[in-house]
Structure formats: C-alpha cells, structure tokens
Amino acid sequence: MNLIVAKNITKDYQVVPTRVSKDPQIGEGLVRALRNVSFEIEPASFVSFVGPSGSGKTTLLNLIGCLDKPTEGKLTVVGTDVLKLDRHESAQFRGDNLGFIFQDFNLIPILTVYENIEYPLIIVKNTPGGERRKRVMAVLAAVGMADQKDKYPDQISGGQKQRVAVARALVSDPKLVLADEPTANLDSKTAYTIINLMKKMRDELKSTFIFSTHDQRIVGEAEIIYSLADGELVDKQLKGGKQNG
Amino acid sequence: MANLFKIAVRNLFRYKRRTFLTVSLIAIGVIFVLGYISISGSFKNMMIGQITDSMIGHLQVHRKGYVASIENLPLNLNLKPQAVKKLEGLLNQQPEVVAYSPRIKFGGMFSTFVETTNVRLNGVYPEKEFKTIPLLPSRIAEGQKTLNKGEILIPELLARGMKAKIGDMIVIVATNQDGSVNGKQFKVAGILESATGPGGRDGYVHIEDATELLRMGEMEISEVAIRIKDFGKVEAFTRKLDGQLSGEVNKQGKPAFEVHSWQGLSPFYNIARMIDMMTFFIQILLIAVVLISIMNVMIMAVYERIREIGTIAAIGTLPGKILSMFVMEGFCLGVVGVVIGNIIGMAIIFILNASGGVTFDFGMQKGLVLAPTLNPMNMLVVSAIVIFVSVAASLQPALKASRMEPIKALRHV
C-alpha cells in the first residue's frame, strides 16, 4: 500500500491585486502554484522534489504535511484523505504521523537541545517520562548530539541545529518525515552529513523521508527524484538513472 | 501541566526586563490597593467601632415614629412601661444579645448658676449602659468612671465653655411631657471626650434622676440600645428582631416599635459606603492596570513568536495547547505580581504599625491612631481578581496564537 497517493492536485493562491494572474483559466487575483500533480510514494522511500524557486516544491510539501489543502484533486497521506481533516484533526494527524525538518531549523530558543527533542513527546504525544527519556537519548545518540544535549540552540552550529531538528522530527517515530530545503542554510560538507544522516535514519527506522531542494549538490542523494517546473511535475527519476517521465 | 508551566516560565525569562517591568507594575498595583484597602478599611472599622461602642450601640429599638423626630427628642413618643416590659422580655430571650440599655433622651437647660446653655442628656442605668457601649467609660477624660444618682457626666466642650469642673454643682432644667418645667441639681462626676456622630456631645444622668426631673409617673423610655455578640450579624439580627416586633401593634393597630441598626442611625454609614465605593473604583483601576500591562506583553509575545507558533503548530501541537501556553504565561505574570505585591504590601503595613500607626484627627476627635490591618479575605479577593484578569487579558492574544494558520506563521519574517 502506498504511503502517499496524490491525484491531479491543483493549488491556487489568492495574491495581492498588483500581482493579478494572467491565466484566464483560474480567474483574477489567483496564482496557480501546482497544476494536476499526481504521484505515489511507497513506505520507507527516500524522495526529493527538486526544481527552481517558485516551481511549487514547498507548496507540495505543505499539502503533504497537512499544513495546507489542495484547491482540487485528491490527496491521501498514510491512508487518510487529508482534505477531509479539519484544523484540529490536521494538527492531531501531523503529531501522530509526520515529522518536520525546516530550512531554518526552527528550534525553540528557550529550550535546550534535549528539551527541543523532547517537546513533541510531551506536548503532542503525552509520552510517559521514562519512555520519553529513553527515546530522546536514543535519537540524540543516533544524530551524534548526546554530548550537546544541555546546550541551547544559540550555543550550537547550524549543522548541529539541523541534527537536532532531524532528531526532533524522528523522536515520535513518524511514518513520514518532510524536510523543506533542509540543507539550504548549510555548507556543502554539513549538507551531505545531514542528508546522509536522514538516509541512515530512514534505514534504521523505516520512516519515509521527503525533502525538497534546489541544491544540485544533494539532489542525487535521493532514491526517487521528482522534478517540478512551474507547478507541474515534469520528471521522475529513480536512482540508477531509471527515468519515468 | 508542569511542562506547560516550565515553558511559560522560560518564555517569561526570555525577555527579562519586560517581564520585570510588567510584574513590577502588577505588584505596585497590588501594594497600592492593599494599602488603600487596609488603611480605609481600618479607618472605617475604627470609626464604626467608635460610634457603636461609645454612643449608639449596635442597634436600637424605638417607638414607631420616634426616629423621624429624633432631633426634637420628643417625650410624647417614648415607649410606655408596658411596651418596654414586652421588649425587655423579648430581648432577654435572644441568645445573640450581650446587653441592652434603656435610655430616656431629653433636652434641657444647663446652668452653673453663673451661665446657662442647652444640653442633650441621656438618662441611663450606668451598669447597663456601660455594658452596651463599652467604650463609654474610656471617653470619661476626667472624673470617676461610674455614674451614681445625683451625678452627671458632661461633654468636654460644654465643660470648657461653661467652665464647669469635676465636683461642681449644676442645675438641669427640663420641660416635661405636659409642658411644665422642672429643675434638679447634679454634681459633675465626669467630663466626656467628644465623639463624632449622633450623641457624641450628649451628657449622661442616672435614669431615675431623669424620671424624677421629667416628672414621669411611670418610667417611659426613649430608646433601647442593644449590643450583640457578633457585630457581623447585626443586619440579620436587626431583621430578626424587627420581624419579631412587627406583631406588636398600638391601639390604632399600627406597629408599636421600630428597629434600626447603626447604619440607619449614624450618618457615618454614608461615609462608610463611600469608602466601599472608592475601594471598588480602586480595584477597577487595578484591573485596568493589570489588563493593559498583561495584554500588551502577551500581544507582543505573540507577534514576536509567530514563526515559533508556526513551528509548534506544524509539529502537531493542538490549538488548545498553544492557547494554554500563552494563558499560562499571563497566569504566571499575575501570580508572581500578586505574590510580590502581597509580600511587600504586608511588609509596608507591618512597618507602618511598628512605627506607631497612622495618627489623624476626625471631627472633634484628635490624635486618633489608626493601626492598619490586612484582612486575609481582602488579600485573597485582590489576588483572585489580579490572577483572573491576568488570565482574561492573555486570552485574546492566546486565542490569536492558537488560531494562527501554521503555514502563514512559518512564512512570517
């Protein structure tokens, strides 16, 4: 069974009047960010969506992550028709099934490394204390940050912050981890390290990783690469050069 | 809950100066209100105590219609012996009553044989009167603290004006109920300090002397002053007694008695009400201070943390939890402000009392010493108001945070 099934997804955005759409098909004041995008992703995949800025990568990740809803089409994530979820159910769904890694790390500055990772288990999952400690320490060790656990985000480097973000995304054992431009603010070496860390975690935890990027240095690290251009899915590459267009 | 509390406290420490200023503002407000309530409340209680314990008693019973003409001291509206007997019988059965004192109130001429002036007098049984208004003996500034037949206690202003001293013989001339005039000699046995309120400049004679002076065939009583065990229940007891006496009617079939608590007899009651009103407005002011300062801080906190709100919402924090986080911050600000305010407020009141209290003059009473006290109930009410308002003030920003679309919040720069 596929983890994600997207059929003819379209997403329109209302824009300010000065940026009136020239597309007569979608009406005035609207911009079409995604056009009839369809794809399927299997569990434990390591997938990237690539494309230039404005191609719709982030929009697509937001839709998969239940942070936004498509204007048209059908989207099923982890067996759930996400279009039918209300605000509260979406939040619940995200907490239960998804992990997020952000471009700017988005760690909570008032919490230590340990507490940042522990946060989803306390606030979202209500995991008991003993179990919580075990899981936090396990992911901390897995991302190589156990010795930095008492530091605050402003006391660690960008690469370390992203490791913490990876750990936070994985600590609640999600079925799907979404990473929007996870290496955009990192140097090449650290970017590779983070991508390899994500891959390693996928191998260990069997979670599905989807990341968006326009960074050519790491595009090839994905096993399945979807290319987007002007809101359309234009290409699908499987690692090893297999092409499905 | 503990984790929400921890996060709230950490968030408050994020902007230490702002938190410090807000907490200080709340604490100052609490100190100010507690100080005001303490001083005004103590003043009010002290004055009520002075009035009830040194003059009028907790409540009084008169013949129906007497209070409306009380300034004239109408002898024709006195209670007849039969009515007094009934009333005394009823009062003796009341477990709430500590003491009661029948009085004959009348006006007369006070003569030192050299000068003559007006005087208002109370004819009383001294033992009953001293039990009913226990501060009366302490008002006797000069002379003996008792009153025997043939003696008179005179107010100090009268003594000063008429140059009357302890041991002097004076004459009281009074008009009787039938319009004739009678006179009687009295020895000045004591000089009473003036007190603010009705009866504060009255003199006292023995009730049997008053009966004789007024040529009453049978003793007729102007009023019965009553003291009860629990002053806090004075209104309830007044209603109870009024209900029990309402069945007593005169020959015309109209009520024979009227019962008034001290509130209905002393103009100070209006001042007391004004003090309560001002206390209420001061509390409103405190509410405004807390509301504005907390709301301001929380609105700023929400705007500064939009991306953070987006992040926690994205990773699955339910809107209700986000709301709780911000409300908890407001709650913590309120609690810290209340605790600091209460501690400093208590310390100030303690220092004020340790340094001898607040000295002030009120009417003819000079050098009154006010010892402000803090009623735990008042502290509790002020604290509850501040904490409730703190939570209420953080609700709007918290709701805004909880309703934020994660996608928009994450895009916020």
The Cα of A63 is separated from the nearest Cα of chain B by a number of Å equal to 10
Partnered with residue B192 across adjacent β-strands are B140, B155
B114: three-class secondary structure by DSSP: coil
Using CB atoms, which residue from B3, B14, B316 is nearest to A95?
B316
Q: If pLDDT is split at 50, 70 and 90, which confidence band does B197 have? A: low
Q: How far apart are CA A20 and CA B57, in angstroms?
A: 85
Q: How far apart are CA B43 and CA B286, in angstroms?
A: 21
Q: What ipTM does this complex have?
A: 0.87
- Looking at residue A245, its pLDDT comes to 41
> B393 is in which domain, residue-wise?
2-51+270-411
- Give the pLDDT mean for A51-68: 91
Q: If pLDDT is split at 50, 70 and 90, which confidence band does B254 have? A: confident
- Asked whether residue B141 falls in the same domain as residue B235, the answer is yes
CATH 3.30.230.10 matches A42-69+80-243:
no
Does residue A126 belong to the interface with chain B, where contact is any CB pair within 8 Å?
no
The answer to whether the CB of A176 falls within 8 A of the CB of A107 is no
Q: If pLDDT is split at 50, 70 and 90, which confidence band does B7 have? A: confident
Q: How far apart are CA A98 and CA A80, in angstroms?
A: 12
Does residue B217 belong to the interface with chain A, where contact is any CB pair within 8 Å?
no
Does residue A83 belong to the interface with chain B, where contact is any CB pair within 8 Å?
no
Is the pLDDT reported for residue B94 higher than 80? yes
- Looking at residue B264, its pLDDT comes to 85
Please list every residue in chain B whose beta carbon sits closer than 8 Å to the beta carbon of residue A106: 307-308, 310-311, 410
Does residue A95 belong to the interface with chain B, where contact is any CB pair within 8 Å?
yes
User: Is the Cβ pair B317, A123 closer than 8 Å?
Assistant: yes
Pairing type for strands A4-14 and A80-81 reads: unpaired
pLDDT in tens, A3-19: 899 999 999 987 765 55
Report residue B75 as tokens: 């002898």
Q: Higher-confidence residue: B412 or A8?
A: A8
C-alpha of B332 from chain center = 34
Q: Higher-confidence residue: A184 or B379?
A: B379
Q: What is the Cβ-side half-sphere exposure of residue B348, based on CA atoms within 13 angstroms?
A: 19
User: Is the Cβ pair B410, A102 closer than 8 Å?
Assistant: yes
Which H or E run includes B150? none
DSSP, res B403: T
Please list every residue in chain B whose beta carbon sits closer than 8 Å to the beta carbon of residue A181: none
Domain ranges, ordered by start, for chain A: 42-69+80-243
Does residue B236 belong to the interface with chain A, where contact is any CB pair within 8 Å?
no
- Looking at residue B364, its pLDDT comes to 62
- Asked whether residue B231 falls in the same domain as residue B332, the answer is no
The answer to whether the CB of A66 falls within 8 A of the CB of A85 is yes
Strands (E), B199-322: 203-206, 223-228, 257-261
Is the pLDDT reported for residue A22 higher than 80? no
Partnered with residue A180 across adjacent β-strands are A212
The answer to whether the CB of B55 falls within 8 A of the CB of B330 is no
The Cα of A244 is separated from the nearest Cα of chain B by a number of Å equal to 31
- Asked whether residue B149 falls in the same domain as residue B184, the answer is yes
Does residue B3 belong to the interface with chain A, where contact is any CB pair within 8 Å?
yes
Does residue B317 belong to the interface with chain A, where contact is any CB pair within 8 Å?
yes
Please list every residue in chain A whose beta carbon sits closer than 8 Å to the beta carbon of residue B7: 110-111
Question: Which chain B residue shows the shortest CA-CA distance from A58?
Answer: B407
- Give the pLDDT mean for A57-66: 92
The Cα of A74 is separated from the nearest Cα of chain B by a number of Å equal to 20
Q: If pLDDT is split at 50, 70 and 90, which confidence band does B259 have? A: very high
pLDDT in tens, A106-122: 999 989 999 999 999 98
- Looking at residue B206, its pLDDT comes to 96
Provide DSSP, chain A: --SEEEEEEEEEEE--GGG----TTT-TTEEEEEEEEEEEE-TT-EEEEE-STTSSHHHHHHHHTTSS--SEEEEEETTEEGGG--HHHHHHHHHHHEEEE-TT----TTS-HHHHHHHIIIIIT---HHHHHHHHHHHHHHTT-GGGTTS-GGGS-HHHHHHHHHHHHHTT--SEEEEESTTTTS-HHHHHHHHHHHHHHHHHH--EEEEEE--HHHHTT-SEEEEEETTEEEEEEETTTEE--
Using CB atoms, which residue from A91, A95, A110 is nearest to B14?
A110
Partnered with residue B182 across adjacent β-strands are B174
Report residue B44 as tokens: 């009010």
- Give the pLDDT mean for B338-343: 96
User: Is the Cβ pair B10, A87 closer than 8 Å?
Assistant: no
Assigned domain for B260 exists: no
Please list every residue in chain A whose beta carbon sits closer than 8 Å to the beta carbon of residue B3: 122-123
Using CB atoms, which residue from B14, B308, B316 is nearest to A124?
B316
- Looking at residue A144, its pLDDT comes to 87
Please list every residue in chain A whose beta carbon sits closer than 8 Å to the beta carbon of residue B306: none
Does residue A219 belong to the interface with chain B, where contact is any CB pair within 8 Å?
no
Report residue B80 as tokens: 């007849």
User: Is the dihedral angle over the CA atoms A113, A116, A117, A121 positive or is it negative?
Assistant: positive
Is the pLDDT reported for residue B208 higher than 90? yes
pLDDT in tens, A199-217: 888 888 888 999 998 877 7
Does residue A173 belong to the interface with chain B, where contact is any CB pair within 8 Å?
no
Report residue B348 as tokens: 């100030």
Q: How far apart are CA B21 and CA A109, in angstroms?
A: 22
Q: Which of B315, B323, B328, B403 to mutate to test the interface with A (most CBs of A within 10 A)?
A: B315
- Looking at residue A242, its pLDDT comes to 43
Residue type at position B48: I
The Cα of A171 is separated from the nearest Cα of chain B by a number of Å equal to 11
Q: Higher-confidence residue: A184 or A85?
A: A85
User: What is chain B's percent helix, strand, coil content, to nearest 5?
Assistant: 55, 20, 20
- Looking at residue B193, its pLDDT comes to 86
Which H or E run includes B57? none
The answer to whether the CB of B166 falls within 8 A of the CB of B188 is yes
- Looking at residue B358, its pLDDT comes to 79
Q: Which residues contact A233 (CB under 8 A, 6 or more apart)?
A: A37, A38, A39, A226, A227
Does residue A188 belong to the interface with chain B, where contact is any CB pair within 8 Å?
no
- Looking at residue A40, its pLDDT comes to 93
Q: Which residues contact B251 (CB under 8 A, 6 or more apart)?
A: none
Phi, psi of A227 (to 5 degrees): -105, 135
The answer to whether the CB of A202 falls within 8 A of the CB of A166 is no
The Cα of A4 is separated from the nearest Cα of chain B by a number of Å equal to 19
B317: three-class secondary structure by DSSP: coil
Q: Higher-confidence residue: A126 or B341?
A: B341
- Looking at residue A115, its pLDDT comes to 93
Please list every residue in chain A whose beta carbon sits closer than 8 Å to the beta carbon of residue B407: 62, 67-68
The Cα of B278 is separated from the nearest Cα of chain A by a number of Å equal to 43
Q: How far apart are CA A92 and CA A98, in angstroms?
A: 10
User: Is the Cβ pair A95, B315 closer than 8 Å?
Assistant: yes
Number of domains observed in the structure of chain B = 2
Alpha-helix residue ranges (DSSP H) falling in B93-206: 126-132, 136-139, 156-162
Pairing type for strands A176-180 and A208-213 reads: parallel
Assigned domain for B57 exists: no
- Asked which of A148-152, A187-191, B35-39, B109-113 is least confident by mean pLDDT, the reply is A187-191
Q: How many degrees, rounded to 5, is the angle at CA B204 between CA B66 and CA B245?
A: 30
B191: three-class secondary structure by DSSP: strand
Does residue B411 belong to the interface with chain A, where contact is any CB pair within 8 Å?
no
- Asked whether residue B36 falls in the same domain as residue B74, the answer is no
pTM: 0.75
Report residue A211 as tokens: 């990341």
Q: If pLDDT is split at 50, 70 and 90, which confidence band does A241 have? A: very low
Partnered with residue A10 across adjacent β-strands are A72
Does residue A92 belong to the interface with chain B, where contact is any CB pair within 8 Å?
yes
Q: If pLDDT is split at 50, 70 and 90, which confidence band does A28 have? A: low
- Looking at residue A244, its pLDDT comes to 46
The dihedral formed by the CA atoms of B391, B394, B400 and B406, expressed in degrees to the nearest 10? -90
- Give the pLDDT mean for B251-264: 87
The Cα of A80 is separated from the nearest Cα of chain B by a number of Å equal to 16
- Asked whether residue B320 falls in the same domain as residue B382, the answer is yes
Q: How far apart are CA B124 and CA B319, in angstroms?
A: 74
Assigned domain for B40 exists: yes
Report residue B4 as tokens: 């929400």
